[in-house]
Amino acid sequence: MTTERTGIVFNHRGGVGHSAAVGLIAVALGAIVFYIDTFTEIEGAIAVLYVIVLLLASEIVTRAGLFLTVAVCIALAVASYVLTHGPDTDLQTFLRLAVSLSALAITMALLLRNEMFRSELLAKNAAIRDSEARYRSIFDRARVALWERDYSQVRSFLMELKGTGISDLRQHAHNHPEVIDRCINLVRTVAANEAAVELLGPLSADGSPGSMARYIASGDLAFLNLMDAIFNEQTYFEGRGNVTTESGETKLVLLSVSFPEDPAAFNRVVVGMVDITQRELTQMALDEARAELTKASKAATVGALSASLAHELNQPLGAIVVNAQTLLRWLDRDPPDLTAVSRSAERIIRDSQRASEIIQNTRNLLSQKESKAEWIDLYALVHETRALMEQDLQRDAILVDVVLSANVPLVKGVRIELQQVMINLMTNAIQAINGANCAIRRITVGIQPLESDKVSLSIRDSGPGISDEAAGKLFAPFYTTKSSGMGMGLSICRSTLEHRGGRLDGFNHPAGGAVFEITLPVEDRHE
Ligand code: ADP
């Protein structure tokens, strides 16, 4: 709305010629009224006729012009009155003048009010035009495919069905599949923006609206969902569906429709569509790749677990063989030393149980079952582990010192797992001491509480320490510097501890030898 209020011509209808004609008639009429009022003997409120002059002027002048006109008319009426009656005026003639002036004032007021309403109407119309233009430009330029569709007929049809007592449209369509096609045919496309034309093709060869049957397959169930939304008088619908483009290509689209509250507005419902065909294909490829990866990683896990099992079982099986040989030797004695035989047999049973627990734990890992966590006294566990390795330690003349700090809390974890880690680290320590043929043959196990609910268990040996070459690769699977090593021990130990919220670090002690430090949370975070 840019026109100024005062600049509006009242009730303007024609061109310049029309205005000039109306202007002349108004001036002539004014002159005639003035003449009759002033120079004839006709008694009556002749000046009332100035109202016609005012009405004519309102056709061609602006608001200021109208004020001027009314002022002139009043001046003429008063002038006639003065000229006709002079100073000796009577009540009757004065009342006639008053009636004429009132008529002019009322007409003026009505014209002004009329003009105000008209201006407001014009402003509203302009605002509607603006918003329509804005909507058009958004509709046309949006990069989302948009259509204006006429759902009024399909709505009426669905409401009629409802009126006949049908309450479940899906059930009804199941029994009468032709209903879906009827609905498809009743939806008309009124307009489509550029993106929509790119997606489905032009409305029709001549650009005229057509039914949806061109894009939607007969009996399409996704379309039934949309109809069901209208049937149940929902305010919006979102769904996926297949559409066939002008070139015959089938596309998967995401459909979004917002229904108007007013049933009369169903003749222009905006429908948005996003082509998700490519996204869906990519997703399918991704899912397939993921499935392949899962298969591959399962195979890798089985491989790693077999390697781990082979490694972990080595120690108890070795111990069983040694104990069995010892047992046979005691039996071969004459007379057999039955006490020693029984001791060896007990060791065999103990190591067999440990082997069985290792297998059980691995099976739990495979079946994703959690092994049982319990409160563990680390000091007791270290002693128990040392007892298990007693033969190796004695054979290689290695001493084990246990240094226990004050206030070490119990830790929650899986006992067999922690024991396996310790056996691995102690076996490495023994091998390091043996490998370097060290004179001092000692393993020191330290247990101490750390800040923030953690406990440290370190195993230090008197071996040569970790070589510079090995330092960066210690925990890498299959890294070994030993001729008969598998290189799995440290990698298994670290992942076992990390799985339970702990960690394992290896470094050289400043005074010589390697240190492997286990850090355990007091509570098993996995629980
Ligand atoms: P493996 O014992 O089969 O070699 P590990 O993973 O247990 O496998 O150890 C990997 C490597 O780390 C060993 O080959 C060795 O070079 C080094 N290492 C492990 N423990 C020690 C230790 N206590 N002292 C020195 N080096 C060690």
Reported as a single tens digit per residue, the pLDDT across 240-257 is 888 888 888 888 898 899
Nearest-angstrom CA–CA distance, 17 and 353: 119
Reported as a single tens digit per residue, the pLDDT across 305-335 is 777 787 788 888 988 999 999 999 999 998 8
460 CA distance to ligand 1 centroid (A)?
13
489 CA distance to ligand 1 centroid (A)?
8
Which residues lie closer than 8 Å to 526 by C-beta, 6 or more apart? 370, 373, 499, 500, 501
254 CA distance to ligand 1 centroid (A)?
58
* Probe residue for ligand 1, chosen from 313, 392, 480 as the CB with the greatest number of ligand atoms within 8 Å: 480
Nearest-angstrom CA–CA distance, 43 and 39: 11
pLDDT surpassing 60 at residue 519: yes
366 CA distance to ligand 1 centroid (A)?
26
Question: What is the rounded average pLDDT of the residues 182-208?
Answer: 79
Question: What is the rounded average pLDDT of the residues 151-180?
Answer: 92
Residue nearest to ligand 1 atom 14, measured at CA: 480
pLDDT surpassing 90 at residue 83: no
Instruction: Tell which CATH classification among 1.10.3470, 1.20.1070, 1.10.287, 2.60.120 matches the domain 297-369.
Output: 1.10.287
- According to the model, what pLDDT value does residue 233 have? 92
* pLDDT level of residue 203 (50, 70, 90 thresholds): low
* pLDDT level of residue 369 (50, 70, 90 thresholds): low
Nearest-angstrom CA–CA distance, 419 and 378: 10
In the chain, list all ranges with CATH 3.30.450.20: 142-275
Q: Which has more pLDDT, 369 or 377?
A: 377
* CATH code given to domain 142-275: 3.30.450.20
- Beta-strand ranges (E) seen in 452-513 are 454-461, 503-508
Residue nearest to ligand 1 atom 16, measured at CA: 481
Reported as a single tens digit per residue, the pLDDT across 47-65 is 888 999 989 988 888 888 8
421 CA distance to ligand 1 centroid (A)?
13
Residue nearest to ligand 1 atom 19, measured at CA: 428
Residue nearest to ligand 1 atom 27, measured at CA: 466
Q: Which atom of ligand 1 is nearest to the CA of 311?
A: 3
- According to the model, what pLDDT value does residue 279 have? 85
Question: What is the rounded average pLDDT of the residues 70-85?
Answer: 89
Reported as a single tens digit per residue, the pLDDT across 126-144 is 999 998 888 888 888 888 8
Residue nearest to ligand 1 atom 17, measured at CA: 474
Superfamily of domain 371-521: Histidine kinase-like ATPase, C-terminal domain (3.30.565.10)
User: 10 Å Cβ neighbour count for 341?
Assistant: 17
Question: What is the rounded average pLDDT of the residues 212-237?
Answer: 87
* Probe residue for ligand 1, chosen from 423, 460, 474 as the CB with the greatest number of ligand atoms within 8 Å: 474
* Probe residue for ligand 1, chosen from 422, 428, 433 as the CB with the greatest number of ligand atoms within 8 Å: 428
Cis peptide before 202 (omega within 30 of 0): no
- Residues flanking ligand 1, CB < 6 Å: 428-429, 432, 461, 463, 466, 470, 474, 479-482, 485-491, 514
Reported as a single tens digit per residue, the pLDDT across 374-396 is 899 999 999 988 888 887 898 89
* pLDDT level of residue 303 (50, 70, 90 thresholds): low
In the chain, list all ranges with CATH 1.10.287: 297-369
Q: Which of 106, 41, 42 is nearest to 73 (CA)?
A: 106
484 CA distance to ligand 1 centroid (A)?
11
Least confident of 104-108, 199-203, 231-235: 199-203
Reported as a single tens digit per residue, the pLDDT across 253-302 is 988 998 998 888 899 898 998 888 888 888 887 777 766 665 665 566 66
Q: Where are the alpha helices (DSSP H) in 142-177?
A: 152-163, 169-175
Reported as a single tens digit per residue, the pLDDT across 4-40 is 444 455 555 557 788 888 889 999 999 999 998 888 8
165 CA distance to ligand 1 centroid (A)?
82
In the chain, list all ranges with CATH 3.30.565.10: 371-521
Q: Taking CA 85 as the corner, what is the angle to CA 81 and CA 89, rounded to the nearest 5 degrees?
A: 100
Residue nearest to ligand 1 atom 7, measured at CA: 489
Beta bridge partners of 404: 447
Residue nearest to ligand 1 atom 21, measured at CA: 428
- According to the model, what pLDDT value does residue 43 have? 73
- According to the model, what pLDDT value does residue 5 have? 43
Nearest-angstrom CA–CA distance, 237 and 151: 13
